[in-house]
Amino acid sequence: MIGKIALVLLFILLVWGNLVAGLKAGLACPDWPLCHGEVIPPFRWDIYVEFIHRVIGGITSIFIFILCYQRFKSYLGAIKMIPLLVVVLLVLQIVLGGIVVLMELPVDLTTFHFANAIVIFALVVYMVSYDGINNKPTFSISGYRGIFFLLSILIFVQAVLGAYVRHSSSGLACPDFPTCLGYWIPPEISGIVLNHFMHRGLAYLIALIFVILLIASYSSMVLSKYRNKLLILVGLIILQIGLGAAVVLTQLNYAFTALHFFIALLILTIALYTWFQGMKQSRV
């Protein structure tokens, strides 16, 4: 139960963080760990958007620390390193959050802060999947399980690239869709245009791979057991591309941007869960 609560809270925290960025409220609390020098800051909508993000982060951290303690006790061997790693990354994340605010949201550090959060999220999904009591921790990237591992890595890279696009002000470098500056391939791909175009290109590549896997599942006995999840993933990816277009065409509307990230996180969760479930089945 602690694991599921931690995972849900972490999911909410990440989406709320996206809303904070979309509403440009990241510096509404310009100091850290206090907000405007107070434990309870003065009321203003943007201040409380950021302040609530900090509150959710504090509660989430408590649940993750408890989960790590439980898993450290139940895990055996080298897998004990996973909850220890999560604790280290979580402490790093908390410190980075303060530094990011005090340095007024530098692009590279803010992107790294996001990437670290996604790594923590992936490891929490793992700890929720394996409690070390009813099911034993395992790790495998062989066979078709390796495909979902690699796809999870691609989705992670795409999410981090999306964060970099946002924080580097590259979100409207291609202000049209499906073309970019009126071209399918812009004549000059550099700077913020390169950032944006890479994000789009990787999205199409991920979509293509999932479609190929879905088609292959109708002829492969091994892949057929993943067909339902592949159908869901392909549907979500199509929706995600549509939302990406909406983000651009509405000039980075915060609601579309948050929903775009919500679906991305959902896609990553399903891909990770499919990989972990495949490892469970390999032990049967």
pLDDT digits (tens, 9 = 90+) for 24-58: 888 888 888 888 888 888 888 889 889 999 999 99
SS3 of 118-138: the string is HHHHHHHHHHHHCCCCCCCCC
| More confident position, 88 or 48 | 88
pLDDT class of 242 with cuts at 50, 70, 90: very high
Q: Is residue 6 scored above 90 in pLDDT?
A: yes
Among 70-74, 117-121, 134-138, the least confident range: 134-138
Q: What is the pLDDT at residue 280?
A: 60
Q: What is the pLDDT at residue 26?
A: 82
How much is the average pLDDT of 7-36? 89
Choose from 133-137, 146-150, 167-171, 231-235 the range with maximum mean pLDDT: 231-235
Contact between 246 and 177 (Cβ < 8 Å)? no
How much is the average pLDDT of 262-271? 92
Sign of the dihedral through C-alpha 22, 25, 30, 31: negative
Contact between 125 and 148 (Cβ < 8 Å)? no
How much is the average pLDDT of 229-243? 93
Q: Other CB atoms closer than 10 Å to residue 58's CB: what's the count? A: 12
Q: What is the pLDDT at residue 102?
A: 84
Contact between 36 and 42 (Cβ < 8 Å)? yes
CA distances from 229 to 35, 124, 130, 217 (A): 43, 20, 20, 11
CA distances from 147 to 24, 82, 121, 219, 233 (A): 37, 22, 20, 17, 14
Domains of the chain: 1-137 (1.20.120), 140-284 (no CATH)
Q: What is the pLDDT at residue 281?
A: 54
pLDDT class of 284 with cuts at 50, 70, 90: very low
Among 75-89, 118-132, 136-150, 162-176, the least confident range: 136-150
Q: Is residue 283 scored above 60 in pLDDT?
A: no
What residues does 35 pair with on adjacent strands?
38
Rounded CA-CA distance 148/275 in Å is: 5
Q: What is the pTM of this model?
A: 0.90
